[in-house]
A and B are shown apart, each in its own frame.
Chain A
Amino acid sequence: MSANNVKQPQKNLPTGVKGALVGAGASCLVLKAGSGYGWMLRPPGAVAEDDFLKKCLRCGRCAHVCPYDAVKMGKLSDGLAIGTPFIVPREMPCYLCSDLPCVKACPSGALDPELKDPLKTRMGTAVISEREECLSIKGLRCEVCYRACPVIDKAITVENYLNVETGRHAIFEPVVHKKDCTGCGICEKACVLERPAIVVQPLQPPTESWYES
Chain B
Amino acid sequence: MKVNRWTTGRRCVQILMLLLLATPAFGWTFFEGNLGAAAIVGLQLSDPLAALQILLLTGTLTATMLSGTAIVVVFYGLFGGRVFCGWVCPVHLITDLVDLLPWPKRLSSWSLEWKTTALIVTVIMTVILGIPVFETVSPIGTTARALTFGVSSSLIIIVLIVIAELVLVRRVWCRSLCPLGGFYYQLGRFSPLVVAYDTAKCSHCGECRRVCFVPEVLAPSLKSQRNMVHSGECTRCGACVGICPEKALGFALRNPFER
Residues of chain A having any CB pair with chain B under 8 Å? 1-13, 16-17, 19-21, 23-24, 27-28, 31, 50-51, 53-61, 63-65, 72-73, 75-77, 80, 82-83, 105, 107-109
Chain A residues with Cβ under 8 A from B170's Cβ? 4
Q: Contact: A60 with B144, CB < 8 Å?
A: yes
Find residues 78-127 in chain B having any chain A CB closer than 8 Å to their own CB: 99-100, 102, 107-114, 117-118, 121, 124-125
18 A-B pairs in the complex with CB atoms less than 8 angstroms apart: A3-B210, A4-B212, A6-B109, A12-B111, A20-B117, A20-B121, A28-B128, A28-B129, A31-B136, A59-B33, A61-B32, A61-B38, A64-B148, A75-B152, A76-B152, A76-B154, A83-B141, A107-B44
Chain A residues with Cβ under 8 A from B239's Cβ? 1
Query: In whole angstroms, what is the CA distance A56 to B132 when docked?
Result: 8
Q: Contact: B107 with A4, CB < 8 Å?
A: yes
Q: Contact: A4 with B215, CB < 8 Å?
A: yes
Question: B152 — nearest CB in chain A belongs to which residue?
Answer: A75
Find residues 149-166 in chain B having any chain A CB closer than 8 Å to their own CB: 149, 152-154, 156
Chain A residues with Cβ under 8 A from B65's Cβ? 107-108
Chain B residues with Cβ under 8 A from A16's Cβ? 111, 113-114, 117
Interface range, B side = 35 or more
Query: In whole angstroms, what is the CA distance A50 to B60 when docked?
Result: 15
Query: In whole angstroms, what is the CA distance A7 to B112 when docked?
Result: 11
Query: In whole angstroms, what is the CA distance A28 to B135 when docked?
Result: 14
Question: B64 — nearest CB in chain A belongs to which residue?
Answer: A107
Query: In whole angstroms, what is the CA distance A112 to B257 when docked?
Result: 42
Question: A4 — nearest CB in chain B belongs to which residue?
Answer: B210
Chain B residues with Cβ under 8 A from A7's Cβ? 108-109
- The reply to whether the CB of B192 lies closer than 8 angstroms to some CB of chain A is no
Chain B residues with Cβ under 8 A from A8's Cβ? 216, 219
Summarize B's interface: helix, strand, loop or mixed: helix
What is the minimal beta-carbon distance from A25 to any residue of chain B, in angstroms? Answer: 10
Q: Contact: A105 with B210, CB < 8 Å?
A: no
Chain B residues with Cβ under 8 A from A21's Cβ? 121
Chain A residues with Cβ under 8 A from B245's Cβ? none
What is the minimal beta-carbon distance from A169 to any residue of chain B, in angstroms? Answer: 48
Query: In whole angstroms, what is the CA distance A13 to B210 when docked?
Result: 26
Q: Contact: A75 with B153, CB < 8 Å?
A: yes
What is the minimal beta-carbon distance from B116 to any residue of chain A, in angstroms? Answer: 9
Query: In whole angstroms, what is the CA distance A27 to B126 when docked?
Result: 12
A-B pair count, CB < 8 Å, reads 164
Q: Contact: B121 with A23, CB < 8 Å?
A: yes
Q: Contact: A83 with B32, CB < 8 Å?
A: no
The answer to whether residues A58 and B39 also contact, given A7-B108, A9-B111 and a CB cut-off of 8 A, is no
Q: Contact: A64 with B131, CB < 8 Å?
A: no
Q: Contact: B46 with A107, CB < 8 Å?
A: yes
Q: Contact: A20 with B114, CB < 8 Å?
A: yes
Chain B residues with Cβ under 8 A from A60's Cβ? 24, 32-34, 144-145, 148-149
- The reply to whether the CB of B68 lies closer than 8 angstroms to some CB of chain A is yes
- The reply to whether the CB of B36 lies closer than 8 angstroms to some CB of chain A is yes
The answer to whether residues A54 and B130 also contact, given A16-B114, A60-B149, A75-B152 and a CB cut-off of 8 A, is yes
Chain A residues with Cβ under 8 A from B99's Cβ? 1-2
Q: Contact: A57 with B132, CB < 8 Å?
A: yes
What is the minimal beta-carbon distance from B104 to any residue of chain A, in angstroms? Answer: 10
**Chain B 210-224: CB-based contact to A (< 8 A → 1; otherwise 0):** 111001100100000
